[in-house]
Amino acid sequence: MAGVSKCMKYSMFIFNFFFWVCGCIILGFSIWIRVSNHQQQHLGMDSSMLAGVNLLIAVGAIIMILGFLGCCGAVKESRCMLMLFFIALLLILILQIIGGVLGAVNKSQVEAAFEVTLSTMVNSLQSTTGEHKEYQEEFQKFERKNQCCGLQNGPKDWGENFNKLSSNICQCKPEEQSTDLCIKYQGKYIYTKPCGEVIMQQIKDNLVIIMGIAFGLAVVEILGLVFSMSLYCQIGRK
């Protein structure tokens, strides 16, 4: 009877060990964001963003479990664990493909959901209770860095906060005032472009990176399927 290839066995173990480590990193980072009020305020998270963090927690946990199954299945030469690993990884790959197709088909709905998120963030900018003060300060830094104002409707998104005496929200630098970047509004030179456009452009610019990561994950998942099934078959012939 043919034995189990040690090269295949330890390749499977190393592959899944790194898979498990990635799961630990994703899970730990997501939990840190989820339980840290400071980070939630810093990132201006609303309910939809928190749902995304919860999804990352689930993804991290699933990757950890898969990595554990793959490592134990390889070391113990357990066909049951290897088969569970293969089935789970195959389901994830199928769901990933379905998600990509649905994302492409429902692009307009995704953009509409983004607009809803922006509307929620506008409410945080207009808040005068002090609850979102840290988020407002961080957003002003974003405005200065990206030369934009507000999210959807420019300075109007700031509401009463824009007219505070100590406020310099959206104000252009002196050397920028004569450029197309700025317009005069209520006696102040402010940036013309809404930050929502900047954020959307950044998302589009990073779409290639996201697609590359998704493709890379798909390649890794296919390798995992090949490794696990090859080892499964070798153990069966042992």
pLDDT, tens digit, 9 for 90 and up, residues 141-186: 888 888 999 888 888 888 888 887 566 788 888 888 888 889 888 8
Higher per-residue pLDDT: 49 or 231: 231
Rounded Cα distance between 199 and 191, Å, is: 15
Alpha-carbon gap, residue 5 to 13, rounded angstroms: 12
Estimate to the nearest angstrom the gap between the alpha carbon of 48 and the chain centroid: 12
How many residues appear in the chain?
A: 238
Q: Is 139 inside a domain boundary?
A: no
- Alpha-carbon span 160 to 11, nearest angstrom: 61
Domain region containing 104: 6-108+226-237
- DSSP codes of every residue in 37-105: HHHHHHHT--HHHHHHHHHHHHHHHHHHHHHHHHHHHHHHT-HHHHHHHHHHHHHHHHHHHHHHHHHHH
Statement: residue 43 has pLDDT above 70? no
Q: What is the pLDDT of residue 25?
A: 84
pLDDT tens-digit series, residues 20-33:
887 788 788 778 77
Residue 182 lies in a domain: no
Q: What is the pLDDT of residues 117-147, one digit of tens each?
A: 777 888 888 888 877 788 888 888 888 888 9
State both tokens at 227. Answer: 């490794």
Dihedrals phi, psi of 171, to nearest 5 degrees: -70, 135
Amino acid 49: pLDDT:
56
Q: What is the pLDDT of residue 1?
A: 40
Pick the closest to residue 151 from 191, 183, 96, 91 (CA basis): 191
Task: Give the per-residue pLDDT at 37.
Answer: 53
The model carries a pTM of 0.57
Determine, yes or no, domain membership for 68. yes
Domain membership flag for residue 46 = yes
Structure tokens, 85: 């690993």
Instruction: Please state, in angstroms and as integers, the Cα–Cα distance from residue 21 to each residue in 16, 25, 88, 103, 114, following that order.
Output: 8, 6, 18, 28, 32
Return the SS3 of 97: helix
Q: Give dist(CA 60, CA 24) in Å, integer.
A: 6
Residue 121 resides in a domain: no
Task: Indicate whether 12 belongs to any domain.
Answer: yes
Average pLDDT in the 64-70 region? 85
Q: What average pLDDT does this structure show over 72-87?
A: 85
Q: How many CA atoms lie within 13 A of 228 on its CB side?
A: 29
Q: Number of structural domains, the chain?
A: 1
What is the spatial distance between Cα 177 and Cα 190, in angstroms, rounded to a whole number? Answer: 8
Residue 214, domain member (yes or no): no
Residue 84, in any domain of the structure: yes
